[in-house]
Structure 1
Amino acid sequence: MRKLKFVFLALLLFLIVLVYFNYPKLNIVSGYSAKMMSSSVFVADRGFEYTDTHDNNFDLVAHADDEVFLSEGYATASVFGLMERKAVYREGLGSVLVNDEYDAATAYLKPNRQRLLSDLPFPYGDLPQKDTVFPEIDYKTLVAAVDSAFSNNKIRKTRAVLVIYKDHIIAEKYEEGFDKNSRFLGWSMTKSITSTMFGVLAKQGKIQLDQAAPIIEWQDDERKDITIQHLLQMNSGLEWNEDYGSISDVTEMLFLDSDMTKKQAAKELVYKPGSHWNYSSGTSNLLSGIVRKQFDTHQEYLDFPYKAFIDRIGMHSMLLEADMEGNYVGSSYSWATTRDWAKFGLLYLHRGNWNGERIFNEDWVDFVSTPAPNSGGQYGGHFWLNRGPDNYMPDVPEDAFMANGFQGQRVTIIPSKDMVIVRLGLAEWPDFDFNMFLGGVVKAVQ
């Protein structure tokens, strides 16, 4: 009997310690689940059951219980009834986690969109592309490479693949339940969207890469030496923890902060600017805040990315989600169809020229695709590169550069092959081998 009491007390102590160390995480877990459920249902038009079974069925998130209120436009989530969080859908701004200060009756601004109709074929217009057979393409090899991305799909979890060669779709495939009209979350591919905003601003002469970042709090200390280029190349020297498996800077920002532009700005300098590379989603949201400072009104800021390049190149499905304060979450939250993600890649493949219209200068492409100092060759200006030992793909041309996102979202631009390759899904290395997949696609072009 005494031994049984000891076992019971030991188990109770274990449970108390477990709850003590994990209870604060439940706020993050509930927040992730509610946000994903709300965006999946209201932005991507997916069902509750599908989202719960696939998108929210991993690690601690799988223990969250979600509920969707379709007519009211929001979703909630909690873990064992604890730490309930709420995510609200706002037209034009997507879904956002809200706190107790949120007032649903308060009016909000939304971006003005313009759909430009064109009688040109894809990618420059709305008509189907002309059937074209390229003699230099081994179509059997191409089909095999694309099919390989979907084989053993319980592990590889591919949802969409699109291959463009010389402005033509030469391969396109979707997992059952998805098609060319389905929106997909880009996660950190959004960082490359944010970078493009700066490319446009640079063309307009509104910013220079070597100018000091316009952060008032930095002007009286050594952070005043941080430039726009340092931020775009993740070389600011600011403290930041990008650990998604714990309560960290990035998880607090994405799932607790109402204004995501402030987290990185408040951090101390731990390295001299330009001397140390550190991947930071906080930096991307700080950059989104800097974009907002370029305009006199909030409406101009909201309109800017759509007017400047998103709608101009026909990415009409794309939606940038905003935080509670109306800042675009430039690190993580953008949605678009596979074909519109491909158009984004084509904009860079054509070095900022969209069917004769210049969106940003050619030297911007050189900047984003040149290795950032101290990055080991793997990172440019909010784009990833096929260089350096950590993520080098030996079967893919070295001039490839990519917009990459969590769970293997990727738009790969390969100038030497005149190709853009899009892969969207729920798995990345090692479950999905990008070298094997991309290498197989490239091999099909003789």
Structure 2
Amino acid sequence: MKILKRFLLVLLLVLIATVAYNYPKLNLISGFASKNMASTVFIAERGAESVVQNENDMPLIRLADVSMGKAKAKASVFGLMQRETICREGLGCVLVNEEYDASKIPLKPKRTQLKNNLPFPYGNNGKKDTVFDNIEYDKLNDALDYAFSNYETQKTRTVLVVYKNEIVAERYLDGFDEETPILGWSMTKSILGTLYGILQYEGKIALDHKPFGDDIRMKNTKMGITLNHLLRMQSGLEWDEDYASISDVTKMLFMESDMTLAQAKKKVIAPPGEVWNYSSGTTNLLSGELRKQFDTHQKYLDFPYTALIDKIGMHSMLIETDMMGNFVGSSYAWANTRDWAKFGLLYLNRGNWNGERIFSPQWVDYVTKPTEHSDGVYGAHFWLNAGGKYPDVPKDLYSANGFQGQRVFIIPSKDLVVVRTGLANEDAFDSNVFLRKIVSAIK
């Protein structure tokens, strides 16, 4: 009997220790589950059960119990750490806390619709049925077959291939189509970075601008950090981008009311330019700096849409805001697959959109120039193949990348834009094989 009591006591102590150790994580688990559920149902208009079985079916996240209300969702883990997400028209969904004032009607972006009878990409009137003599369509279809094979592992949802501005291949998983908004996760960073390219082209900002001040004597402090350093993830500020633990990025996304401040509060660990450290906090700091370029919050909310998103007809795109009304530029842009492709085509065409210049050609050269200390994998808010990450694909490839394999690949030498979305990263989905098959189809 004594042995049994001792065993039960040890078991109880282990259980208490386990709960105590993991208790802080419950905040993040219920926060992720609530936010993901609300946004996917409200923005993508997908069923709650599908979200439980797919997006929220991840280690720890599946422990959360989620309930839906009208434009809101609540989640908890074993009844603990309940988190609520509220959805607002034009602003998406946001995790709220006790400071949230539901009676206050927030400002929302003013949107315009591009009206013409043009097909993709310069309008929304379907697509051309051009057949290119130099494309081996059987090989192209083989590439799509590969992408959609073995769903339990690869989890591909949508694929779109655009050659010379025309859709040459397109496929969707059951339950998805050309109108279904997809969360881009960190592909949003490339959208946010592009807004700086537009401001630079308009002569409204310079990349040597120093958000923290311009005292040249302060080399080893925040004073020396420029927009260029931030766009290249070279600020020298401390940041932990770990999604599997309680880290800087998870605390920012699921606990902060104002996400633009998270990176700014971190200490300096290296002089600007001396290290490369990928940071979602940096992009949201840039979102906060973008707000300072406008004299009203309404103008800030309108700018991404009037200057970029609606101007090139990406009408399905929506960038969610945090509780303070700042765009979550690190992570929360939604758009259908064709609209993500339009973004890639804007870059393929070096900032020219059907005769109208959105940003300068030199901006493309800037974002695709390898950042020092990144081993050729990163430019300025875009990922690169300059270092040969994809050995069987042209090295001029660059891309907007997001969590779970969201990708907009741009291959200038092949006149290609390729979009792939899904729920599996490159450890499960081999982008090199997929892209090699597509490139080999172009003679």
| TM category, shorter | over 0.9
* Corresponding residue for residue 166 of structure 2: 168
Aligned residues: 442
In structure 2, how many angstroms separate the alpha carbons of the residues matched to 1:428 and 1:438? 15
Partner SS, residue 264 of structure 1: coil
* Corresponding letter in the other structure for 2:168: I
2:401 matches 1:395: no
TM-score w.r.t. the length of structure 1 is 0.97
Q: CA deviation at 1:205?
A: 1.0
* Corresponding residue for residue 54 of structure 1: 54
In structure 1, how many angstroms separate the alpha carbons of the residues matched to 2:177 and 2:214? 46
Deviations 1:316-353 (A, max 9, x none): 00000000000000100000000000000000000000
2:431 matches 1:434: yes
Q: CA deviation at 1:129?
A: 2.5
In structure 1, how many angstroms separate the alpha carbons of the residues matched to 2:401 and 2:39? 20
Deviations 1:20-66 (A, max 9, x none): 11000000000000000000110110011001111101100000000
Q: After alignment, is 218-227 or 188-197 more displaced?
A: 218-227
* Corresponding residue for residue 402 of structure 2: 405
Q: Is this contact kept in 2: 1:215–1:265, CA < 8 A?
A: no
Identity %: 59
* Corresponding residue for residue 13 of structure 2: 13
* Corresponding residue for residue 190 of structure 1: 188
In structure 2, how many angstroms separate the alpha carbons of the residues matched to 1:76 and 1:240? 29
Q: Is this contact kept in 2: 1:214–1:290, CA < 8 A?
A: no
* Corresponding letter in the other structure for 1:224: M
2:128 matches 1:126: no
In structure 1, how many angstroms separate the alpha carbons of the residues matched to 2:340 and 2:328? 18
Deviations 1:131-167 (A, max 9, x none): 2111110100000001110100011000000000001
Q: Is this contact kept in 1: 2:128–2:167, CA < 8 A?
A: no
Q: CA deviation at 1:217?
A: 12
**Which of 68, 72, 86 is equivalent to 1:74?**
72
Q: After alignment, is 293-302 or 128-137 more displaced?
A: 128-137
In structure 2, how many angstroms separate the alpha carbons of the residues matched to 1:309 and 1:108? 22
* Corresponding residue for residue 103 of structure 1: 101
Q: After alignment, is 219-228 or 256-265 more displaced?
A: 219-228
In structure 1, how many angstroms separate the alpha carbons of the residues matched to 2:210 and 2:399? 27
Partner SS, residue 146 of structure 1: helix
Q: CA deviation at 1:219?
A: 10
Deviations 1:60-88 (A, max 9, x none): 00000000002xx1100000100000000
Deviations 1:338-384 (A, max 9, x none): 00000000000000000100000111101111101111110000000
Q: CA deviation at 1:128?
A: 2.4
Deviations 1:73-126 (A, max 9, x none): 110000010000000001100000000111211110000000011121211012
Q: CA deviation at 1:218?
A: 12
In structure 2, how many angstroms separate the alpha carbons of the residues matched to 1:89 and 1:125? 29
Q: CA deviation at 1:387?
A: 2.7
In structure 2, how many angstroms separate the alpha carbons of the residues matched to 1:204 and 1:344? 19
Partner SS, residue 104 of structure 1: coil
Q: Is this contact kept in 2: 1:162–1:339, CA < 8 A?
A: yes
Q: 1:44-443 alignment to 2 at 5 Å?
A: 44-70=44-70, 73-214=71-212, 222-388=221-387, 392-443=389-440
Q: 1:218 to 1:106 in 2, by over 3 A?
A: farther
Partner SS, residue 17 of structure 1: helix
Partner SS, residue 428 of structure 1: coil
In structure 2, how many angstroms separate the alpha carbons of the residues matched to 1:300 and 1:358? 21
In structure 2, how many angstroms separate the alpha carbons of the residues matched to 1:5 and 1:388? 61
Q: 1:6 to 1:329 in 2, by over 3 A?
A: same
* Corresponding letter in the other structure for 2:418: I
Runs of 4+ in 1 over 3 A off after TM superposition: 214-221
Q: After alignment, is 373-382 or 207-216 more displaced?
A: 207-216
In structure 2, how many angstroms separate the alpha carbons of the residues matched to 1:327 and 1:216? 25
Q: CA RMSD in A?
A: 1.4
In structure 1, how many angstroms separate the alpha carbons of the residues matched to 2:327 and 2:66? 25
Q: Is this contact kept in 2: 1:38–1:75, CA < 8 A?
A: yes
Q: Is this contact kept in 2: 1:35–1:96, CA < 8 A?
A: yes
